[in-house]
Structure 1
Amino acid sequence: MKYLIMNADETLGEKVAQWLMQMTEVGNIRVGISDSGKRDFFKKLKIDTVLVDYEANDSIKKAMDQTNVIVYIPKQEDLSTSIAHFERILENVQQIQATLIFVSFFADQEANPYLLSPFYGYALRRLAGSDIKYTVIKNSLFADPLIPALSQIIKDKEISYPVKDQSVSFITQNDSAHAIAACCMLKMMHGHGEKYVLTMEQNYNMVELAYLMTRATEKSIGYNPLSSAKFIEKNPHDKLEASLYQAARLGELDQVTNDFRKLTGREPEELEHFLRNGYQISKLHALNL
């Protein structure tokens, strides 16, 4: 089997490639990148690398040549661009009769106000109406951005995410990549319209998150939520993030599943462990600067 990871210049794509290297011969892996600066990274790993222009059908076709399983990780782009790129992916997957693993996001409900929710909802319905062999892997919120945010949170002594008393679910990028790579390798787990939602084994409201941050950093951290209006006033250009918090306030981001365990056979990393390790590593990096 030959595997192609598209948009592998994104952090998640890099991690999927590295996990796949532990599961199959490196000669079975190809990555598609749009940033030529990432070529050296994959060259060191001896992974076949191809530059992909998502505006050019021939470029996508060349990248997919002689591959059997294609992992498509869409970038966060405007709605029309996301749909146009997705349609080109579908057209070429269909032509070579490959299996598509579409990496989605769990904020895809019909009433979800997240600005990219229409794309993820469209993709699901488009796949369902096609004759393509496909599987959808939906990520919950990535925990990774919490680590660089900790320094400011410690200074403020509080988190202020405007989600009120609702809970949200997380997964780490490393765990997501492991599950995606495992799905690629498990033929019985993909290609039949399966849908997996990757989460930790519990969700957290913001009071619980503040408590975990306090334990992980040994700094006192509370929760004092901004209003939606105040958040938009302080972050006028972060409309995408504001819409995500709006979705969380409506309880649309609290889903918990055991799908990660189904795909990998292990438990996902716990949030407190991730925060503690990430905080200690960030402190070491700061000392070395």
Structure 2
Amino acid sequence: MSDTAAADRPTLAVTGSTGWLGGLVARALADLGVPQRLLVRDVGRAPNLPGAEPVQAAYADRPAAESALAGVETLFMVSAAENEHRLAEHRAFVDAAAAAGVRHVVYVSFFGAAPDATFTLARDHAATEQHLRDSGMAWTFLRDNLYLEFVDKMMGEDGVIRGPAGEGRAAVVAHEDIARVASTVLLDPSAHAGETYSLTGPESLTFAEMAAVVSEVTGREVTFHDETVEEAYASRAVYGAPDWQVDAWVSTYTAVAKGELDGVTDDVERLTGRPPLSLRAYLESQR
């Protein structure tokens, strides 16, 4: 590639454009006329967007990632698909970004990410955040609460949401609100360097309250059963999932029980100028 051609390539890269969050962000940027490089594992699945250049790269393939990121200044990094080696993939990708000369990474993390978080995957997010802090690149962390779109999909065929969450609360947040924040940050990344944003909906709800909202809006009878931890592991054993995955499923609920997903912030409205979507408003919009 000539120097001129390289200079003409988009300097903003977006990962995850074949998924929900990266896709929403990529489309929002395209609608604003922002050129972008879409890093995807399969270019055939990349969305066809004006000003977007699909480039093949996988997080775990450092040489390919480094080549795909050459000339990129700002990188939107969506978390890799959940798997046993996700943290290693994140570290390899961060290292590739630093080696390629990326200046700023906007990383999608998790609410309350910490080395000792109850939710096991939040520990991986904390480790990724630390790797970014140590990378020499500027960074911004978007720590998302639980996704409210999943609430009405969490019940079994009998309409019961099961998990050891007790009366703990979660400030569930909408995909579109996270994407709006991400787009805002990516339009002016330097203004958000070194910032950690905790993205929540407008209220913290118990799972019993979430079930009641789903029932009221959809007309389906939905309830919450507060399992013991032992019951939670037993009820999920039928899926034959690996231990790390089951631990993640169960610890989602125990983290809520311990209050680690409670607490509403004003970050969504402060950054975007619009209040976040509530669970009720989302469900009513789907009818």
Gaps of 5+ in 1: 281-289
Q: What secondary structure sits across from 1:235 in the alignment?
A: helix
Q: Distance in 1 between matches of 2:86 and 2:221?
A: 43
Residues 84-123 of structure 1 mapped to structure 2, 5 A cutoff:
84-93=89-98, 95-123=100-128
> Amino acid of the residue matched to residue 53 of structure 1?
A
Partner in structure 1 of residue 197 of structure 2: 196
Q: Distance in 2 between matches of 1:180 and 1:127?
A: 17
CA contact (8 A) 2:160 2:224 kept: yes
> Amino acid of the residue matched to residue 196 of structure 1?
Y
CA contact (8 A) 1:79 1:119 kept: no
Alignment match of 2:260 (pick from 247, 252, 255): 252
Q: Distance in 2 between matches of 1:94 and 1:139?
A: 28
CA contact (8 A) 1:168 1:248 kept: yes
Q: Distance in 1 between matches of 2:82 and 2:215?
A: 35
Q: Distance in 2 between matches of 1:53 and 1:223?
A: 39
CA-to-aligned-CA distance 1:105-157 (integer Å, 9 cap, x gap): 1142333232222211112222333421111111111112224446x4xx635
Q: 1:67 to 1:95 in 2, by over 3 A?
A: closer
Partner in structure 2 of residue 283 of structure 1: none
Q: Given the two structures, how large is their TM-score scaled by the length of structure 2?
A: 0.85
Partner in structure 1 of residue 175 of structure 2: 173
Partner in structure 1 of residue 132 of structure 2: 127
Alignment match of 2:24 (pick from 15, 39, 51): 15
Aligned-residue CA RMSD (Å) = 2.3
Q: 1:125 to 1:149 in 2, by over 3 A?
A: closer
Q: Distance in 1 between matches of 2:114 and 2:61?
A: 31
Q: Percent identity?
A: 20
Residues 206-221 of structure 1 mapped to structure 2, 5 A cutoff:
206-221=207-222
Count, aligned residues? 271
Q: Distance in 2 between matches of 1:130 and 1:66?
A: 17
CA-to-aligned-CA distance 1:246-279 (integer Å, 9 cap, x gap): 211211111321111122111111110112233x
CA contact (8 A) 1:7 1:34 kept: no
Residues 21-40 of structure 1 mapped to structure 2, 5 A cutoff:
21-23=30-32, 25-26=33-34, 28-39=35-46
Gaps of 5+ in 2: 1-9
**What is the CA distance between 1:79 and its match in structure 2?**
5.3
Alignment match of 2:59 (pick from 29, 51, 54): 54
